[in-house]
């Protein structure tokens, strides 16, 4: 509802008129494959990148000559012009162990000279404009383009940082429950901070963190002058075709689109009285001249550039960092809702993919952190506001300084011909990922997900390039992987419209098990398989002689047999001491999971009805491994002699 009222407010404000507040002429600067455009302060040069960030291109707008600034280390997306006319950009290098190191560069358009100004380091490295120069902000070292660069702002996670001219840093949290902050910048007069709070929208705060303007659902904002802001629509997960460039006033009186209605305009940038932006999906770059006074031009830093060590580095040198995206958010139209009659619960349970995605995502976050990883996550709750714009998610991932991007979903055929198998999708063609490492990650994770013996698979696991898998257009692919230069993938862990699998997904422990198996694949990707000492024992309990009947769906393998509800399992360690107790739920899935078990030989006892013992089996827990044991019972099976409790 919040989005609706904000959009309504903007539509009403479009009718407002103010002297000089309007857009002028529009012209095309690049015909295709131009994204994240940046215009030099003198309007002579244009920077842009292809969708995969594989190169950084520079066009002389006077001569039309295009040259490559760099084609190494995915240099696109993060580049900016300084007031000195220099290009500042960041490259990344993926090591054999999967860790990414990022390097800061300065490039002179006039001479073509490229200089490394910030050595390779772990974590987030970002080129930012300051009031009197440029800062390349790293988690271990920071580069300043001159002796004094003035004041500047940046974000990391859910904290907004302000750095004054003396170099003193202040941490602000203007919105307490945001999923993270993005695109922070100081106003030209240095009195206000513009930022986007994920799940809340575009805002302006004062230098004490007090919000003074809530401007609605917009992304990638930049100051036009002290009173006006340029931004792109927050199109959500389903309305990218409606994306446009908007003019907003800090006082809220002006809220109007300035790009043509049918252009699908994104990624605006301001230089003087000119606004450049890209048209998705073809990458046409356009320039729009505004018929209103621009901001005062920033001054270039004086003196020789310098680097400075960060007193308390954010990231550790050898610890992998994973960005986790639990897909969807809130029970909205893009969240595939399926009501399910569960016999054990004697009720209709409502399945939402966002629920199980979040359960898996939070579990993966906890598992990885217990294994010594650093993590960031796109959401930790499940409200409509958590259904972030796909570009917003990609930007949060980039801002996290992660080594990989991991999106969690489940699949559906949408037809009665149901199947069930794990599918990993990465950006690129089959076998040819757009970002190095993505195929390796997908194959490792899918291998471990397929080893799950609690479910019934109808096909082998698959890893596919999204350009090959989807027929949405040339190189369109998945929106959450577009503009993502991290090694990354989207995991369709199973098919939730296959009824027995949906019943398993109602079990939080089953979702935890999928996250655990994902962690094993991530361990393999980073070469950390032997780093964690504990293991998992898991399985299902089914009736051996009671078939389930589903008139509307074909069942496969063991899923033709009913699962047992309410049985009790006791786990004894190698010394015969009771280690864990587990009671099966009543949701018709038969799932049990014993997590975080020390390496040992165990005895698993199954009790049913008045605690009569029906099975006793031996099984081992191995470090960083899943051991499976599926059990079966007969209706007329006689209980065995009771063992010690």
Mean pLDDT by 10 residues, the chain (645 residues): 41 40 80 97 96 96 97 97 96 97 97 97 97 96 95 95 95 93 96 96 97 96 97 67 87 94 92 95 94 83 90 87 97 86 90 97 98 97 94 96 98 89 98 98 98 98 97 91 97 96 97 98 94 96 91 88 96 97 97 98 94 93 97 90 56
CB within 8 A of 529, min separation 6: which ones? 520, 523, 624
CA dihedral 316, 317, 322, 323 (to 10 degrees): 70
Closest CA to 614 of 584, 641, 645, 580: 641
CA angle 132–48–81, rounded 5-degree value: 10
Q: Which residue has the tokens 């596919």?
A: 464
> Other CB atoms closer than 10 Å to residue 320's CB: what's the count?
26
Closest CA to 457 of 415, 482, 509, 492: 492
Q: Where are the CATH 2.120.10.60 domain residues in the chain?
A: 39-146
pLDDT for 460 equals 97
Asked if 169 and 160 count as a contact pair (C-beta separation under 8 A), the reply is no
39-146 architecture in CATH? Answer: 6 Propeller (2.120)
Cis peptide bond N-terminal to 116, omega within 30:
no
Length of the chain: 645
Per-residue burial over 71-99, b if 16 or more Cβ lie within 10 Å, else e, is eebbbbbbbbbbbbebbbbbbbebeeebb
Q: Where are the CATH 2.60.40.10 domain residues in the chain?
A: 533-645
Beta bridge partners of 271: 274
Is the pTM of the predicted complex or chain greater than 0.75?
Answer: yes
CA distance 348 to 497: 15
Backbone angles phi, psi at 77, to 5 degrees: 80, -40
Determine which helix (DSSP H) or strand (DSSP E) holds 596, and give its type and residue range.
strand 591-597
Strands 535-547 and 488-495: unpaired
Determine which helix (DSSP H) or strand (DSSP E) holds 247, and give its type and residue range.
strand 245-249
Query: Residue 365: left (phi > 0), alpha (psi -120 to 50), or beta?
Result: alpha
395 CA to centre of own chain: 8
Q: Select 320-532's CATH number: 3.50.50.60, 3.40.630.40, 3.40.309.10, 3.30.530.20.
A: 3.40.630.40
Asked if 251 and 228 count as a contact pair (C-beta separation under 8 A), the reply is no
CA angle 179–514–429, rounded 5-degree value: 80
- The DSSP letter of residue 31 is S
Backbone angles phi, psi at 292, to 5 degrees: -160, 155
Q: Where are the CATH 3.40.630.40 domain residues in the chain?
A: 320-532
Closest CA to 503 of 537, 553, 545: 553
**Torsion over CA: 263, 266, 267, 270 (sign):** positive
Question: Which segments within 139-244 are labelled E, that is strand?
Answer: 141-144, 152-156, 159-163, 169-172, 181-186, 192-197, 201-206, 211-216, 218-223, 228-233
Please state, in angstroms and as integers, the Cα–Cα distance from residue 230 to each residue in 246, 278, 307, 395, 605, following that order: 6, 14, 32, 18, 65
Q: What is the 3-state secondary structure (H, E, C) of 252-312?
A: CCCEEECCCCCCCEEEEEEECCEEEEEECCCCEEEEEEECCCCCCCCCCCECCCEEEECCC
2 CA to centre of own chain: 23
Asked if 597 and 536 count as a contact pair (C-beta separation under 8 A), the reply is yes
Say which CATH class 533-645 falls into.
mainly beta
Strands 141-144 and 100-107: unpaired
């Amino acid at each position: 509802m919040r989005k609706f009222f904000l959009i309504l407010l903007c539509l009403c404000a479009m009718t407002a008129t103010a002297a000089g507040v309007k857009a002028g002429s529009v012209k095309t600067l690049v015909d295709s494959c131009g994204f994240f455009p940046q215009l030099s302060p003198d309007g002579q040069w244009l920077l842009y990148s292809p969708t995969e960030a594989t190169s950084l291109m520079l066009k002389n707008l006077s001569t039309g000559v295009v040259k490559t600034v760099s084609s190494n280390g995915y240099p696109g997306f993060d580049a900016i012009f300084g007031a000195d006319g220099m290009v500042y950009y960041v490259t990344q290098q993926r090591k054999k162990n999967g860790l990414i190191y990022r390097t800061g560069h300065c490039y002179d358009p006039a001479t073509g000279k490229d200089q490394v100004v910030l050595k390779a380091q772990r974590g987030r490295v970002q080129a930012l404009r300051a009031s009197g120069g440029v800062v390349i902000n790293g988690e271990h070292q920071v580069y300043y383009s001159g002796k004094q660069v003035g004041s500047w702002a940046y974000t990391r996670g859910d904290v907004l940082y302000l750095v004054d001219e003396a170099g003193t840093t202040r941490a602000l949290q203007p919105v307490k429950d945001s999923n993270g902050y993005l695109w922070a910048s100081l106003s030209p007069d240095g009195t206000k901070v513009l930022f986007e709070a994920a799940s809340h929208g575009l805002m302006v705060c004062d230098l004490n963190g007090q919000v003074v303007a809530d401007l609605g659902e917009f992304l990638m904002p930049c100051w036009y002058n002290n009173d006006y802001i340029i931004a792109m629509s927050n199109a959500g997960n389903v309305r990218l075709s409606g994306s446009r460039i908007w003019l907003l006033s800090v006082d809220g009186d002006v809220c109007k689109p300035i790009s043509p209605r049918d252009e699908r305009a994104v990624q605006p940038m301001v230089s003087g009285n000119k606004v450049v932006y890209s048209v998705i999906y073809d990458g046409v770059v356009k320039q729009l001249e505004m018929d209103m006074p621009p901001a005062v031009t920033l001054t270039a830093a004086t003196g020789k550039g310098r680097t400075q060590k960060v007193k308390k580095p954010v990231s550790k040198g050898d610890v992998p960092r994973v960005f986790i995206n639990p897909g969807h958010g809130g029970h909205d139209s893009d969240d595939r809702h399926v009501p399910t009659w569960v016999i054990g619960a004697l009720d209709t349970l409502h399945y939402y993919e966002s629920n199980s995605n979040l359960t898996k995502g939070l579990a993966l976050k906890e598992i990885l952190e217990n294994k010594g990883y650093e993590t960031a996550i796109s959401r930790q709750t499940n409200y409509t506001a958590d259904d972030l714009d796909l570009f917003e998610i990609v930007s949060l991932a980039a801002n996290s300084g992660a080594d990989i991007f991991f999106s969690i979903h489940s699949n559906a055929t949408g037809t009665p011909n149901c199947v069930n198998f794990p599918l990993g999708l990465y950006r690129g063609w089959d076998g040819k990922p757009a970002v190095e490492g993505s195929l390796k990650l997908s194959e490792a994770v899918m291998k471990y997900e397929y080893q799950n013996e609690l479910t019934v698979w109808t096909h082998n696991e698959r890893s596919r390039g999204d350009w090959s898998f989807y027929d949405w257009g040339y190189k369109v692919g998945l929106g959450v992987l577009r503009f993502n230069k991290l090694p990354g993938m989207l995991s369709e862990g199973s098919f939730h419209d296959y009824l027995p699998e949906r019943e398993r997904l109602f079990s939080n422990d089953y979702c935890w098990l999928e996250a655990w198996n994902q962690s094993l694949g991530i361990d393999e990707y980073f070469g950390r398989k032997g780093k964690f000492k504990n293991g998992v024992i898991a399985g299902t309990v089914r009736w051996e002689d009671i078939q389930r009947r589903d008139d509307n769906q074909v069942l496969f393998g063991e899923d033709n047999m009913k699962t047992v509800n309410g049985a009790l399992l006791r786990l004894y360690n190698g010394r015969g001491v009771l280690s864990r107790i587990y009671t099966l739920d009543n949701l018709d899935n038969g799932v049990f999971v014993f997590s975080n078990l020390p390496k040992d030989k165990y005895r698993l006892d199954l009790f049913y009805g008045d605690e009569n013992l029906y099975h006793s089996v031996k099984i081992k827990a191995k470090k960083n491994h899943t051991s499976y044991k599926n059990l079966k019972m007969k209706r007329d099976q006689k209980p065995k002699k009771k063992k010690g409790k």
